[in-house]
Amino acid sequence: MEALILVLHVLAAVAIIALVLLQQGKGADAGASFGGGASQTVFGSQGGSSFFGRMTAVFALVFFLTSFGLAFFASEQAKSVSGALDFVPSAPQVEETVGLPELGDKKATGSDLPVTE
């Protein structure tokens, strides 16, 4: 289920990018007033601005919903990981490792540092 939401999330992001790049800027309307031929466009006399705007809004909604879905799955996964770490041993429970010298022990062997007396 998480993989399906992730795929939808990526596809919605790519669709938003494509739709934003396909939309005309505000300066593109100035050419239409001097005989741009708006009646010969594919999307009608109003152009594609309302169509692309609505499609961008739909894909933005899908993007936000998939973002919430992915956040939900991430929080559930974090809860399951933190539940597995409930038992953390305290200091008395940890056994002392064998072979480590004390700081004041001058008889410690295996040290590269010279012992001064």
Per-residue buried b or exposed e for 46-59, using 16+ beta carbons within 10 Å of the residue's own CB? ebbeebbeebbeeb
- Check residue 4 and give its pLDDT: 95
CB-based contact 48:41 (threshold 8 Å):
yes
The residue type found at 51 is F
State the 10-residue block means of pLDDT for the chain, 117 residues long: 94 96 72 55 62 93 96 88 61 55 58 66
Give pTM, 2 decimals: 0.55
Give the pLDDT score at 86: 59
Question: Which residue's entry shows tokens 């050419």?
Answer: 31
Rg (CA), the chain: 33
